[in-house]
Amino acid sequence: NEAQERFIAQNPKSKAIHERATESLPGGNTRSVLFYDPFPLSITSAQNATLHDADGHSYIDLLGEYTAGLYGHSEPVITQAIIETTKKGLNFGSHHEDEGRLAALVKQRFPSMELLRFTNSGTEANLMAIAAAKIATGKKKIVVFANGYHGGTFLFAAGKNSPINVPHEYLIATYNDLESVHALIREPENARDVAAIIVEPMMGSGGCIPADEGFLEGLRKAADESGAVLIYDEVMTSRMHSGGGIQSQLPVDMRPDLTTLGKYIGGGMSFGAFGGKRSIMDIFDPRRPDSIKHAGTFNNNVLTMAAGRAGLEQVFTPDRAQQLHAIGDKLRKRLQEIGRGTLMKVTGVGSIMCFQFTQSSLDRIKSHNDIADSDATLSGLLHLFLLQRGFYIARRGFMALSLALTESDLDGSAKAVEDFVVEHRQLL
Ligand code: PLP
């Protein structure tokens, strides 16, 4: 309460901006994830890794727009690409060269994506990938994982409380639990009707829970056994390793049939993509008389295509990607060390991580079941504490590092977390 009262006192302008917005937006909000009590800060501008708010405070941005902000806020190559593109005109209602060039760059990094198409968001990419799987197999059921996230229209995990749910026939398995998948796909009423298994190769929004060794390979075999299409949702994880996602670490024959992407790959503009095996993606070839129509006014919008292309070509090279991955691993280990012997655990892979306040030991966190006791009050306390110290993370403890962060930013954030643990020891 004390932290919250201080927050209110220190942010009168953000408070007023939020209150004004509540007159036209429900709760002043148009992206549920961005609301937190008592009101969210109103950010007015940002450069590199620094955010500035309406009340004149600055924050080091550790949230990185939930991974879409990989390039930071004023990466010169990206900025230049956007400025130059706007001079040439916006959205022509036509094909243009950058589409094919961005697609080729994506394909280079994700060789399992033999053919791909663009969308405006990761959510749409998943809608399309699932549709493609259903068409390709002629089957209906979709294996998903409890607490998985594939976009705001797939709230299967929220069950009855969520009317916003594309009404597929979901079979909900447990992450990192192959038996739970086998049990579902072998049930007589499902056995011949599984169109797809869709999985995040690291569960992102559900708590940054990495896939166990063997889990992804097991899913490949399960998909083959049931004749289902294996879809990797790498919307968040596409930045991993040298920029080819988590699938880049698997043998070629263990990779998915379809992959969905989003977030940073559009250079920070709205973006999504889905693609994979030619035999599946060919159904979208408009030269075919029986082709499946896939529309979207902004699928090939020139800003996304140009910014995305510039970013992959010139900025987020495989070396840079590998470096960022290593920086993330190092920071997470340090934070884990700080939390040793307390409830504070830090999960994740590479540059994506999440604080959890749970009794489970780190190596025991395999699915949502193992963090069911997560204490949201402690996450909220950490969030307010870090804001007070000038570090911006998600209320639920999520962080995604950007290329703009300096060593001293990261060092400062670790020190702030250390102080949090020392000051709140009795609660942890
Ligand atoms: N899939 C995953 C794994 C995500 O993390 C997200 C967004 O956070 C999405 C899909 C949806 O992407 P978008 O917000 O671009 O619709």
Tokens read off for 258: 């379809």
Please list the active-site residues: 149, 233, 263
121 touches ligand 1 (CB under 6 Å) = yes
pLDDT band at 160 (very low <50, low <70, confident <90, very high): low
150 touches ligand 1 (CB under 6 Å) = yes
How much is the pLDDT for 156? 73
Q: Which H or E run includes 307?
A: helix 302-310
- pLDDT higher than 80, residue 158: no
d(CA 176, CA 315): 34
pTM for the full model?
Answer: 0.97
How much is the pLDDT for 162? 65
User: pLDDT digits over 345-403, tens only?
Assistant: 999 999 999 999 999 999 999 999 999 999 999 999 999 999 999 999 999 999 999 99
Residues 186, 190, 194: CA angle, nearest 5 degrees: 100
* Interstrand relation of 169-173 and 209-210 (parallel, antiparallel or unpaired): unpaired
147 touches ligand 1 (CB under 6 Å) = no
261 touches ligand 1 (CB under 6 Å) = no
CA of 123 to the centre of ligand 1 (A): 6
Residue nearest to atom 13 of ligand 1 (CA): 122
- pLDDT higher than 90, residue 159: no
238 touches ligand 1 (CB under 6 Å) = no
- Mutate-to-test residue for ligand 1 from 236, 239, 274, highest number of ligand atoms within 8 A of CB: 236
267 touches ligand 1 (CB under 6 Å) = no
User: pLDDT digits over 387-413, tens only?
Assistant: 999 999 999 999 999 999 999 999 999
Neighbour count for residue 64 (Cβ, 10 Å): 29
In this prediction, residues 304-313 reach a mean pLDDT of 98
- pLDDT higher than 80, residue 427: yes
d(CA 428, CA 423): 10
d(CA 273, CA 254): 21
Q: Tell me the CATH architecture of domain 2-70+321-427.
A: Alpha-Beta Complex (3.90)
User: pLDDT digits over 86-137, tens only?
Assistant: 999 999 999 999 999 999 999 999 999 999 999 999 999 999 999 999 999 9
CA of 189 to the centre of ligand 1 (A): 31
For the 76-315 domain, the top CATH level (class) is alpha beta
* Ligand 1 atom closest to residue 272's alpha carbon, by position in its atom list: 15
- pLDDT higher than 70, residue 175: yes
What CA–CA distances, in Å, run from 416 to 358, 391, 410, 412, 421?
20, 8, 10, 6, 9
CA of 235 to the centre of ligand 1 (A): 6
Give residue 105's identity as a one-letter amino acid code: L
Of the chain, the percentage scoring pLDDT greater than 70 comes to 99
What CA–CA distances, in Å, run from 205 to 147, 314, 401, 413?
8, 29, 15, 21
Is the link from the previous residue into 163 a cis peptide, with omega within 30 of 0?
no
- pLDDT higher than 70, residue 180: yes
- Domain residue spans in the chain? 2-70+321-427, 76-315
User: pLDDT digits over 242-293, tens only?
Assistant: 999 999 999 999 999 999 999 999 999 999 999 999 999 999 999 999 999 9
Tokens read off for 401: 């590092």
233 touches ligand 1 (CB under 6 Å) = yes
CA of 209 to the centre of ligand 1 (A): 16
To the nearest whole number, what is the mean pLDDT of the chain?
Answer: 96
In this prediction, residues 33-60 reach a mean pLDDT of 97
Residue nearest to atom 12 of ligand 1 (CA): 122
398 touches ligand 1 (CB under 6 Å) = no
Is the link from the previous residue into 26 a cis peptide, with omega within 30 of 0?
no
- pLDDT higher than 80, residue 315: yes
- Residue pair 274/129 in contact (Cβ under 8 Å)? The answer is yes
Strand positions, DSSP E, 137-271: 141-145, 169-173, 194-199, 202-203, 209-210, 229-233, 258-262
- pLDDT higher than 80, residue 161: no
In this prediction, residues 63-76 reach a mean pLDDT of 98
- Work out the angle between the directed axes of helices 2-10 and 12-21 (0-180°, nearest 10): 80
d(CA 274, CA 234): 10
* Ligand 1 atom closest to residue 205's alpha carbon, by position in its atom list: 5
Residue nearest to atom 10 of ligand 1 (CA): 150
d(CA 293, CA 303): 24
Between 143-147, 155-159, 226-230, 419-423, the lowest mean confidence (pLDDT) is in 155-159
Residue nearest to atom 5 of ligand 1 (CA): 236
235 touches ligand 1 (CB under 6 Å) = yes
202 touches ligand 1 (CB under 6 Å) = no
CA of 74 to the centre of ligand 1 (A): 23
- Mutate-to-test residue for ligand 1 from 32, 65, 67, 123, highest number of ligand atoms within 8 A of CB: 123
- Residue pair 346/360 in contact (Cβ under 8 Å)? The answer is no
CA of 149 to the centre of ligand 1 (A): 7
- Mutate-to-test residue for ligand 1 from 65, 263, 265, 354, highest number of ligand atoms within 8 A of CB: 263
d(CA 419, CA 205): 26
255 touches ligand 1 (CB under 6 Å) = no
* Residue 422 Cα to chain centre, angstroms: 31
How much is the pLDDT for 1? 84
